[in-house]
Every structure is written in structure tokens, then in C-alpha cells.
Structure 1
């Protein structure tokens, strides 16, 4: 029996797939794999299945998506759970069943007896996001398993372009490995050429250009986003989020928070915290506050029709080039 929790859904699903492969051959999986959701199925129904002998296979896997029994979500009125029934099962699990609860939250509800019992039994598996170095090593390791070399600069460029979601990173890494060929090397230049930057990653780059007072590059990047039919109001909101994240990271850093603690506090990936902290070094708290104030005013003017949306954001970018992005 396993209780899996964490916000890194890719790793959790990968763990579940490994269990599926270990329990049954592909042709027998319809009989060996059963899925439930505690939002729709009671513990009595789930445990009745867990305590039923497998049919025509030596063992079976019961996968349960859960936010109620081990998480802190409220119980649905239509589904009643009896946790004492689960506690009884945990003391004597069925030998031919692998029962797995998958809780997509950053922590278990430790007030609950079920969570306390699971921790005491040592059956809890944490799937929190990988740290910055771990994520870079994971990308390089995925390439190495395919007989390719992908060094740290290439991995960093990949994250800059694809973000930190591991499903997207795995797909892009596989594509880059295919392009490199057997025994080949994936370079940062190849990543820049083959992996298109997402909108959020482009906005992150935009804030870098603002910090360095490279107005021409900021405007060119903005025009590229417009060609991709991105809405100026949406881009303004993303700029606000990025500058606000920088402000929070600076404030929490002054209070002695570690990057991991910041990630939990802000709901960000640890690697995102690292690069945001690095980027925030180019801004003072006063300058970030001023930029956020200017963006709030711009957002109001765009939404009330006082300024043309496309022109308004471009003028704001031009004004930042006059010194608003400098560190003071």
C-alpha cells in the first residue's frame, strides 16, 4: 500500500505507470487495474474491491485519486467515507492487492488519523517538485538514457523556453535527442533553434530586457508576441505576476526564507524561485513597487478604453527604457 502526495503530477503518474507495468502484462491490465476517485466512490466501495481476489491474474492494482481521505478537501455530500474502515485495512492489507492513494496536494492533512497512520507505517511517498539542480540533472539523465549528451547550459536553456512542467520538458528533451541522433550532443544553440518559447517564458525574457534597459530588444520581443496573437492585457497581467514574484522573493529573502520555503509560500517551482531571485537582483524594491504601480494604472486605462491596448503597453515599455528598470 502507498500514499502518494505532491504537486509534481508527472513523477506521480510515472510511479503509477511503473506499478502498472510491475503488476500485470499489457494484455491482462483490464482485469488487473482498477481506478477510483474518493470524490465519487466511498471507502467502503474502494476497500471492497481491494479485498476481492483478483480474477485470472496473480495480483491487482487499485489506484485511488484522493483529496478527501488524506487531503484537506471537504467531503462531498453524496459520498460518505468511514476512515476507521481504512485504518482497519491498513493494519491488515490484502496480500494480492496493491492499493495506492494519489493525493495531488503539497502535503497531507496531518490532523487526520489516516495520514498519521500512513506516516507511522512508512508508506508515504512524496512527489514534491525537484530542486533546481535536481531538475537540471533529470533532464541530462533523460538524454543520457537515450545515448545523447545534454549539458547544463542546454538544460537551462530548455527550462527557460519550455518552463518547469516535467511533462513538457520530457517531450522536448525526447525531440531534441531525436534531432541530435545516436551518440549526439544537444547544445544550447540547438535548444534555442528547435524549442519555441512559451508565452510565460517570453514575458520572463521581456523583464530581463527591461532590467538591462535594452528597450529595442524589449519592443522587438513585444512585437513578436503580438504576431503570435497574444493579448496586451494578458501580457500586462503576466508582467505584473513576474514583477510581483520578484518583489515577494526579495522580501522573503530579507526575512531569511530558503528557496524551498519560498517555493511553498509562493506556489512556485523551486527552479522558478531561483531564476526569479537571480533576476530580482537587477531591481530594487522601490523600483519594483514603481513598476507595479505603473502597470496597475496601465491595466485600468486599457480596460476602461482610455488608451489603446497595443499602443499603451508599447509606450509603457518605452518609458521603462528611460531608467525605470535601473537598480537604485
Structure 2
């Protein structure tokens, strides 16, 4: 089942005895586990009804022993297990011996009063393992992948609406461009903006620009946009602002290298017919970051990106060897790049 279906079924009171949750979007995964806890456990019973393990430290036999033990003084319990060994291709500790056949047998006949939840913070499960095949056959595998750009925008708008506020799509997009794709940070900033707007109010783009500081990586996105558009003065102004915030020029240069390299990858993959989602997975970017990177990449030629990466490599050596002042060196690079543009 997918994440939406999993949320829907637990809201309807249809709770499975075993869940294998995996994926890179930890915020939604944690939200799902919190929803399970709300449905099954009274707040005052959480200490007795929720047990946590990590397969990197505890053998699966201990986990199953706990799962097979009837809950004490509560009607049901949740056993939460962090795992990168039983369902993924993680390396087993030499000190911990696992018997996956014990887990497979339990999944065939789980205890009704226990909800056993495995969380695997990885993009994929190891499809070769019998544990994964059994979990899929029981329909208890739930993927938590990063939201697509449109889904992320809708999620922000919906979070504001749930608090009695209105946020238009362009304002949500502005928030994404300033904060990035970390859902925990987005949730915190959305809640802050809703508090500022007041009950029944509207969260506007101007309020976001006034109240939400731009994250360093998002500033680097903006910096490359200014360079591509030949807005050299704006690029230098933004660089000086980052210096005032005590950002290190070497760190900023490393982020620029990563962004130009990602643009080069996106252009190469786009030329091979890859979709935005496929490019995001191939490069290891969030889908929204891949979308923004693709938009920027269209403004640069392949040759120009390769040349810029070469210049940055030379600059990195000069800065770290003391041949040029690091603050001045990066400013000179921005001046040269902005004056020549993307072609």
C-alpha cells in the first residue's frame, strides 16, 4: 500500500499487525507513526505501550519475543524497530546475530494485540530478501518517498488551511524557494506564518519574504540565477549579505560547485530522455530541487558549465593554498561569471 492509503486505513481504524515503512521522507514517516500511536495508545500509557529497538544493536529474536508478549495493563502495544539489516542491504554487525526466519514466521501469524513497525530510512528495500518478499505478500510495506513539487506545494497550502489560514500557490512556492524541501523546517515556518496572519488571515508572498530568512543552499540557487541572468550587481550584493551572515567563502564555493555539477548532470540526463523524477532519483536530489536545477540548467550551455567547474577547481586550489584571499577570490569569480553570462 502507498502512504496515502496507509493513512486512510488507520484513520478508518483498520490497523495492520505489521508495517514495514521505508523511504527518505522521514517527516511523513514519523507523522504516520505518530498517527498510529494516537489511534492505539492513550497519552498516559505511552511509556508502557511503546517499545523501541534497533536491529543494529538488538537481535531480531529479542524483538519477536517482545512482539509475542501480551501487553501489560494496556489493551495493545506498539513495537518500533529501526532497521537497515533485515529488510535492506545494510551490513550486519559481527556482534549481533539475526535469525530472519523467526521474523518471517511471526509475520505469518502476528499477535493481534501488538503492532510491529519497522522503519527503514533508505530509498529502497532489498528485494532479494525473504523478509521483504513476505512483507510484500502480506501488503504491509509502506513507501515514504519525497513528495513531488506539486504535492509539496499542496501540502504547504493544506497545512495553512488546517489552521484556518489561506495561502496561495505562489506564496507556497516562495516559501519553498526560501526554506528548501526539508518538511520539518517547512512545517515550522508555515506555522509561524499562520500565527502572524491570524485566524482567517492570508499568508502572502510579501510576508514570507519579510519573515522567512533564506537558507544558505537556497541563496546559492538564487546566486546562480542572478549569474545566468547577467545580474552581476545583484549576485555580488547577495554574496556580501551571505558574508555578513558569517558564511564561509569556501563553503559557498563548494555549494556552487555542487549546483553547477548538478546542472551539468541534469542537462546530460535530459538529453538522454530522462524525466524530472528519474533525474531526481539518479542524481540524489529532492524532486523540487531537481525541477529548479533543470530550470537553471536551460540557461547554461554544456560547455559553459564544464568551463565554470574547471574555473572553480582552479579557484579552490588557489584559495586553499593561500595564493589568493578566499573572500576576494570568490568575488572575482562571481564578477567574471556574471559579466560573461551562461553562454
User: Which range, TM-score by smaller chain?
Assistant: over 0.9
1:46 aligns with 2:63: yes
Residue in 1 aligned with 2:157?
140
| Correspondence 1:231-250 to 2 at 5 A | 231-250=248-267
- 2:244 corresponds, among 201, 204, 227, to 227
Residue in 1 aligned with 2:216?
199
Report the CA distance between 1:144 and its aligned residue: 0.5
Report the CA distance between 1:237 and its aligned residue: 0.4
State the alpha-carbon separation in 2 of the partners of residues 285 and 187 from structure 1.
37
Report the CA distance between 1:266 and its aligned residue: 0.9
State how many pairs are aligned. 326
Consecutive unaligned residues in structure 1, runs of 5 or more: none
What's the TM-score, normalizing by structure 2? Answer: 0.94
What's the TM-score, normalizing by structure 1? Answer: 0.98
State the alpha-carbon separation in 2 of the partners of residues 85 and 92 from structure 1.
11
| Correspondence 1:298-309 to 2 at 5 A | 298-309=315-326
| Correspondence 1:161-310 to 2 at 5 A | 161-310=178-327
Taking only aligned residues, the RMSD between alpha carbons, in angstroms, comes to 0.7
- 1:74 corresponds, among 79, 91, 94, to 91
| Correspondence 1:85-100 to 2 at 5 A | 85-100=102-117
Report the CA distance between 1:193 and its aligned residue: 0.6
Residue in 2 aligned with 1:36?
53
Residue in 2 aligned with 1:7?
24
SS class of match (1:196): coil
Write the deviation string for residues 72-97 of structure 1: whole angstroms up to 9, x where unpaired.
11101111110000000010001100
Report the CA distance between 1:258 and its aligned residue: 1.2
Report the CA distance between 1:127 and its aligned residue: 0.2
Residue in 2 aligned with 1:326?
342
Report the CA distance between 1:326 and its aligned residue: 2.7
State the alpha-carbon separation in 1 of the partners of residues 342 and 19 from structure 2.
51
Write the deviation string for residues 133-162 of structure 1: whole angstroms up to 9, x where unpaired.
000000000001001111111111111111
Write the deviation string for residues 183-232 of structure 1: whole angstroms up to 9, x where unpaired.
11111111111100011111111001100111100000000010111111
Write the deviation string for residues 236-267 of structure 1: whole angstroms up to 9, x where unpaired.
00000001111101111111111111111111
SS class of match (1:100): strand
State the alpha-carbon separation in 2 of the partners of residues 179 and 8 from structure 1.
28
State the alpha-carbon separation in 2 of the partners of residues 275 and 11 from structure 1.
23
Residue in 2 aligned with 1:22?
39
List structure 1 segments (4+ residues) > 4 angstroms apart after TM superposition: none
Consecutive unaligned residues in structure 2, runs of 5 or more: 1-17
State the alpha-carbon separation in 2 of the partners of residues 185 and 289 from structure 1.
44
